Amino acid sequence: MRERRWELASPIEFEDLFGVSRRLQGLGFRVVAPDQDLICYVEEWRVDAPEDIHRLGEWPVEDVTLVGTSTNWNGDFYLLAGAYHTAYRSHQRSDTYCSVSHPWQMAKPMQTHHPQAMFWVGFRGEQHAFIRVRLDTIEIVAPGETRADHQRSLWTTERRDAFLTAIEALDIPLTPSVEKGKVTLHALDSEAALFCSWPDAFGPCQFEYNVADPFQFLLPATQLANTSAQSSPTVRTYMTGFLPEALHEFWDVQSTVQHAYRCCVHCQIGDLPDIGRMIQPEGKLYATISEFQTQDLLPHGNDAWAIVGIVAFEERFKIEVRLNRAPLPEADMLPWLETLIGCPMVYAPLPPFP
């Protein structure tokens, strides 16, 4: 779901992270101990070859995805997606995944949603294709938050119309509507595999429609890509579940792509500096150190679930706090978080199209 996120205004030293841990422990919250195992999420780790994943061989690694990024891309999306499907067919298994993303443009300006959105066309398993459409909002109003209720009709009308633009371009048998103040999507085929996700206070911001025919979405997706206002957009590809040997075939589809790994690493807090150095200079890692309900601290506020984590990049460290909703009015959130963590904080939502 959509979530609210804040982080330290300035980086701190690795040793200072333990001061934040002790502060949370003093408030009665459980915090990951130095000798406990945790899972850190690595992203944007730029690599020169698929085999570079073995550099993390000291730690157990899972959920490995190779991401290819083409900036200022200028080509035929139909041919690009088709080329990746050809490579996919050579190595597909029940646990493999491949997708290609491209921006698309709203049909008209909107007040609550950004004009540029994103879609993914992809292949999963042995007989499975999908199209995924995601919208980006001007601001994040998490599920349960009421601060934008006075504009609910505007939010839901714009979202319904945005989804309808994509649905018509893709020629998918879906109907968007507004029910009980939230946008909903219904498949005309009751047996269709439709998944709605990434919700905020006004309904889902993303849908995924699945079919058996791997070629069904290639041409419609190209038509949606052609709505983009960017003449040279950024296009990304995602490959999951493949051995490094198989990834070479995907690697060679485009010659000018920058490749980076995303993965989950099982480690301990003391390993984070070593992992951080290994994934320099662009790589980032995230590791959760505490989770709690805010009701214990704010008995008169709205109950929310908080996650406190470490963010590492370029041998620098920050603390992040993520909440499934704001437990206090907006004006009170930053002072409360700074008191909780003991450092200056800033609002820092994550990018909508990773």
Dump pLDDT digits (tens) for 203-230. 999 999 999 999 999 999 999 999 998 8
pLDDT at 316: 94
Give start-end residues of each CATH 3.30.160 domain in the chain: 1-37+268-349
Strand, coil or helix: what is 159?
Answer: helix
**b/e burial code for range 163-191 (CB count within 10 A of at least 16 → b):** bebbbebbebebebebeeebbebeeeeee
**b/e burial code for range 217-241 (CB count within 10 A of at least 16 → b):** bbebbbebbebbeeeebebbbbbbb
pLDDT at 248: 96
Q: What is the DSSP string of 65-134?
A: EEEEEETT--S-HHHHHHHHHHHHHHH--TT-EEEEEEEEE-SS--SSB-SEEEEEEEEESSS-EEEEEE
pLDDT at 229: 83
CA distance 238 to 261: 10
| Interstrand relation of 129-134 and 116-124 (parallel, antiparallel or unpaired) | antiparallel
Q: CA-CA distances (angstroms) from residue 193 to 169, 175, 187, 212?
A: 19, 14, 8, 10
Query: Is it the case that residue 107 has pLDDT exceeding 90?
Result: no
CA distance 76 to 140: 33
Q: Topology of 1-37+268-349 in CATH?
A: Double Stranded RNA Binding Domain (3.30.160)
pTM score, whole prediction: 0.94
pLDDT one-digit tens code per residue, 329-342: 999 999 999 999 99
CA distance 191 to 177: 19
CA distance 36 to 51: 29
Mean pLDDT of the chain: 96
Taking alpha carbons only, the member of 84, 167, 72, 74 closest to residue 121 is 84
pLDDT one-digit tens code per residue, 247-293: 999 999 998 899 999 999 999 999 999 999 999 999 999 999 999 99
pLDDT one-digit tens code per residue, 115-161: 999 999 999 998 789 999 999 999 999 999 999 999 999 999 999 99
